[in-house]
Amino acid sequence: MKNFIFGRSAINLFRNLSIILFIITGCAPQLKIGEQLDMVSVPEQWMVPDMEGVRSELSWLDGDEFKDLSMIVMLAFENNPDLRISANRLNTAIAQQQITSGTRGVTGNLSSGATRTGDFESGTADKQIFSLRGGLAWEADVWGRLASDNAAAQQNVLAVKNDLEYARISLATRTAQRWFDVTESIMQYNLLELNLSKLTQAKDLVNSRYARGLVDVLDVLQLDTNLATARSNIANQRLTITERMRILEVLIGAYPSGDIQKGVSLPSLKKEILLSIPSDMLASRPDIVASKNRVYEANYDLNFAKKALYPSLSISGSTTANGDEIADIVDIDRLVWSVVGNLVQPIFDGGRRRQQVIISEIN
């Protein structure tokens, strides 16, 4: 009878403590993420409000005049090592989010064993026991700690995904810039070669006229100087092309050979270049969206760190079957089950949890 009264008292004490903790934590101030983001003011429009926004950052690659450029950008997407690293980061973030999400569900395990005992003197086995054990465990997310951890992981996935999109746009932009640099250099090289060819023809003409005494020697010397300058310019331009080609080849993941291609030309622009874009395009930039996701992630991490100071409630159950034969462990009549509830309140941890709250607040 005394044990029963003591058990009833323990249950009442446990219930009262849970109610008090719930009231205290319910009065804790909640983080208002939207108000923090609204502190950064963005103008509704730029100085030119009648400009239409760009529908897609890479839509200008679809024109017929950019066929070669589109192919080179696609090569960069496929072979650029930095872009592959960004893609691997996204896969890692997705896997981490799945791990975090799994902590909110029920975990189970199943184990089996066999034990055989005997006597050293007789050398015979006296007894053998087979066992089968199964268990389930689940943590009740009373304070929303696990939900905050899962939400932070989801925001991290969104941030890394936007980082990857921004890396693609940035890589396409840099590749296009380098492609235009190479094309411009090659066209200048072709122009210098044409100029050298004209100067060579002019030298033959001047030498012929000098042999007949129609021109002064200064004209011959001046033309020789122009020829030497033209050859020097061609050599310098060839070096410029090689350097720019190597930069472009590194971007697309090719071996930096620096081979010079001829017969290239700059495409003609058939569409008007917009002078500005509406301010709503600013909010759709992947790098800005990624920063916003990280703000949400940091706030969820702070919530998770604070709620780690509260008690955790978990429920676990297990079944065990033992027998002398293997068939005994699958006999329902031999199963023994148990259910245990745990309420754990961290008291002494060397200040680890509180320091984690400070770190989350700083971040």
pLDDT-derived band at 47 (thresholds 50, 70, 90) equals very low
Q: Is the pLDDT of residue 236 over 90?
A: yes
Token pair of 49 as six digits: 């409000």
Based on the number of CB atoms within 10 Å of its own CB, is 316 exposed (0-12), middle (13-18) or buried (19 or more)? middle
List Cα–Cα distances, 198 to 167, 189, 207, 267, in angstroms: 46, 14, 14, 27
Residue 247 has pLDDT above 70, yes or no: yes
Torsion of CA 170, 174, 179, 180, to 10 degrees: 110
Does the pLDDT at position 36 exceed 90?
Answer: no
Q: Write down the number of H helices and E strands in the chain.
A: 8, 4
Is residue 108 within 8 A of residue 100, CB to CB? The reply is no
Q: How confident is the model at residue 46 (pLDDT cuts 50, 70, 90)?
A: very low
The Cα–Cα gap between 226 and 264 comes to 27
Binning pLDDT at 50, 70 and 90, where does residue 264 land? low
What integer is the mean pLDDT of 86-115? 86
Would you state the structure tokens that stand for residue 294, as one six-digit string? 């990280």
Q: What is the pLDDT of residue 192?
A: 92
User: Residue 269: is its pLDDT beyond 50?
Assistant: yes
* Residues pairing with 341 in the sheet: 315
Distances (CA, A) of 41 to 38, 44, 53, 276, 279: 7, 9, 20, 19, 11
Does pLDDT of 159 surpass 90?
Answer: yes
Can you tell me the mean pLDDT for 300-308? 85
**CA–CA dist 175, 86 (Å, integer):** 17
Domain ranges of the chain: 1-28
Q: Lowest-confidence range among 5-14, 49-58, 63-72, 228-237?
A: 49-58
Q: Select the more confidently predicted residue: 327 or 76.
A: 76
Q: pLDDT > 90: what percent of the chain?
A: 12
* Closest C-alpha among 142, 132, 190, 199 to residue 22: 142
Between β-strands 312-323 and 125-140, what pairing exists: parallel, antiparallel or unpaired? antiparallel
What's the confidence (pLDDT) of residue 123? Answer: 58
What pLDDT sits at residue 214?
82
The answer to whether 129 and 324 have CB atoms below 8 angstroms apart is yes
Which of 13-27, 70-84, 218-232, 323-337 shows the lowest per-residue confidence on average (mean pLDDT)? 13-27
DSSP letters spanning 156-201: HHHHHHHHHHHHHHHHHHHHHHHHHHHHHHHHHHHHHHHHHHHHHH
- CA 363 to each of CA 154, 269, 359: distance values in angstroms, whole numbers, following the listed order: 18, 46, 6
| Lowest model confidence (mean pLDDT) among 123-132, 141-150, 170-179, 214-223 | 123-132
d(CA 96, CA 266) in angstroms, rounded, equals: 46
Are β-strands 107-118 and 125-140 bridged in parallel, bridged antiparallel, or unpaired? antiparallel
Q: What is the pLDDT of residue 355?
A: 72
* Tokens matching residue 95: 């896997």
* Closest C-alpha among 189, 100, 185, 112 to residue 146: 100
Q: What is the mean pLDDT of residues 95-115?
A: 83
> Which of 98-102, 342-346, 350-354 is the most confident on average?
98-102
154 phi and psi angles, rounded to 5 deg = -65, -40
> What's the pLDDT score for residue 233?
93
Residue 276 near residue 51 (C-beta atoms within 8 A): yes
CA neighbor of 268 nearest in space, from 56, 54, 64: 64
